[in-house]
Amino acid sequence: MSIKRVLHYGEASLREKSKEVHKVSRKITDLVRDLFDTMYANNGVGLAAPQIGVNLRVFVIDASTKEEPLDPMVFINPKIIKKSGAVKSNEGCLSFPGAYTDVVRYKDILVKALNEHGKTFVMEVKGGSLLARAIQHENDHLDGVLFIDHCLNRFETEETLKKSNLPNIDPDLLLEETELKKQL
pLDDT digit string, tens, across residues 4-41: 999 999 999 999 999 999 999 999 999 999 999 999 99
Is the pLDDT at 66 greater than 80, yes or no?
A: no
User: Which pLDDT band holds residue 87 (cuts at 50, 70, 90)?
Assistant: very high
CB distance 47 to 35 below 8 Å:
yes
pLDDT digits (tens, 9 = 90+) for 67-79: 777 789 999 999 9
CATH of domain 12-182: 3.90.45.10
Identified catalytic residue from 138, 158, 176, 179 = 138
What residue ranges do the domains of the chain occupy? 12-182
Is 138 among the catalytic positions? yes
